[in-house]
Amino acid sequence: MSVANSPAGTSRALKLPEGLRDRLNEILSQLAAAAGLIIVAVALSFASPYFLTSNNLFNIGVQVSIVALVAVGQTLVILTAGIDLSVGSVAGLGGILGTMVIAKLGFPVVPGIIVGVLVGAAIGVVNGLLVTQMRLPPFIATLGMLGVARGLTFIVGGENAVYGLPSSFRLFGEGQIGPVPMPIVYLIVVGAAGYVVLSRTKLGRYAYAIGSNEEAARISGIPLNRYKMAVYIISGALAGFGGMIAASLVHSGQPNYGVGLELNAIAACVIGGASLFGGVGTIGGTLIGAFLIAVITNGAVLLNITQYYQQVIIGVIIWLAVWWDQVRRRRLAAVAAQAHGRRGTEAAQDGQSSIRAQGDDGAPGEAGSARA
């Protein structure tokens, strides 16, 4: 570690490109994850002439949107070293209750959708309370909720789907802005919001900090419970929203909707580089993970591969993604070491006054002095 003999100003000028370089590394690392996505996409475009049509691409976008929306919330939870296993059931419950108030109680469409979202948020509140007040591990709290919310869906809504929705409800999921289907619009908005939350707000920073070291976060004065509540509420609300989009797409509330959704959402996060131990993960990575799953599913349909093979493929992708992520981290480290040259640049000791020898109070010497 060479000691830069430059004045402080120079060293500060050196720091900026370093920051940029790290930012670049981060982007590059996501490009690496994206590379998998691109390879699969290119392969599919050769395998099926239909794959690259705008129709099919929008189709993928619509299919991925719900998983991706839910995965954005899941990312926040996972960052805090938590997990939300209840999102699939919550999407089902939100969708049923939201459509019921429209179809049975005559709510207008927008308030109905809001009800769906609020139901999800309310479940998030309960999850949050279970985690923060009853101190249940997130896995247990939300595993219980997975059962409770699904059960409630059938208890409240019965076994049959909810029909009789006004045609304007259809627009919510099937409408378009220009050529872009609404679900993709929602995804863009939520994805951007998620990115901003993680990079520019205290909620995002605290989520990383809590997941990285909860005790350090607490000692630093972060109100843990409040922020943990927040991530479960956001996750629940997004799940409820996803449930309403799904209901609009099939024009009915389906009590079975969302079974297994949580696994796809968690897979998206993990493929995108999030650590289940908390503290590591990005929205960009999660979205790439969600798209990768969606493209593979889509390709399987186009190529007439059965659903069972799809499940196998996605499982293998999870292994590969996490393995590749580790390899990449190591490789990146090596590359960076070369790029930085033999020595790291440091603003080590400049600006520090040079100090003379022989002190007054007998120092420098600690010898002979006692210790309590």
Partner 1 sequence: MSQASHALVEVREVSKRFPGVQALDSVSVDIRPGEVHAVAGENGAGKSTLMKLLAQLEKPSEGDILVEGERVRFRSPRHAQRLGIAMVHQEFALAPDLSVADNLSLGREHTRAGVIVRGSEKRRARELLERVGVAVDPGRKVSSLAVAEQQRVEIAKALAVDARVVIMDEPTATLTDAEIDSLFELIEQLKGEGIAIFYISHRLDEIMRIADRVTVMRDGQVVETLDKEQLDEGKLIALMVGREIDTLYPKQEAEIGDVVLRVRGLTRPGVLLDCSFEVRAGEILGFAGVVGAGRTELARAVFGADPVSAGCIELDGRELRLGSPGEAIAAGIGYLTEDRKGEGLAMQLSVIDNVTLARIPGRGIWIDRRAERQAAEQRSDELSIRAPSLHRSVEALSGGTQQKVVVAKWLQTDARVMFFDEPTRGIDVGAKAEIFRLLSDLAGKGRAIVLISSYLPELTNMCDRIVVLRDGRTVGELRREEFGEERIMALASGTEKEAA
Of 26 and 174, which CB lies nearer to partner 1 in the complex structure? 26
Query: How would DSSP label each residue in 348-369?
Result: -STTPPP--S--SSS-S--TT-
Of 104 and 202, which CB lies nearer to partner 1 in the complex structure? Answer: 202
Phi then psi for residue 185, to 5 deg, are: -60, -45
Please work out, in degrees rounded to the nearest 5, the angle formed at the alpha carbon of residue 326 by the alpha carbons of 323 and 330.
140
CB of residue 197 to partner 1, shortest distance in Å: 9
* Rounded least distance, CB 156 to partner 1, Å: 35
Q: Which is nearer to partner 1, 167 or 330 (CB)?
A: 330
Cβ atoms of residues 95 and 116 within 8 Å: yes
- Nearer of residues 159 and 366 to partner 1, judged by Cβ: 366
Check residue 108 and give left, alpha or beta (phi > 0: left; psi -120 to 50: alpha).
Answer: beta
Smallest distance, partner 1 to C-beta of residue 118, A:
21
CA distance 287 to 265: 10
Local structure of 306: helix, strand or coil = coil
8 Å CB contact between 59 and 229? no
Q: How far is the CB of 70 from partner 1 (least distance, A)?
A: 23
Binding site for partner 1 (CB under 8 A): 1-3, 8, 12, 15, 18-19, 21-23, 200-203, 205, 208-209, 211-213, 215-223, 279-280, 332-334, 336-337, 340, 342-349, 351-352, 354-361, 363-372
Q: How far is the CB of 237 from partner 1 (least distance, A)?
A: 16
C-beta closer to partner 1: residue 12 or 104? 12
Using DSSP bridges, classify how beta strands 176-177 and 180-181 pair: parallel, antiparallel or unpaired. Answer: antiparallel
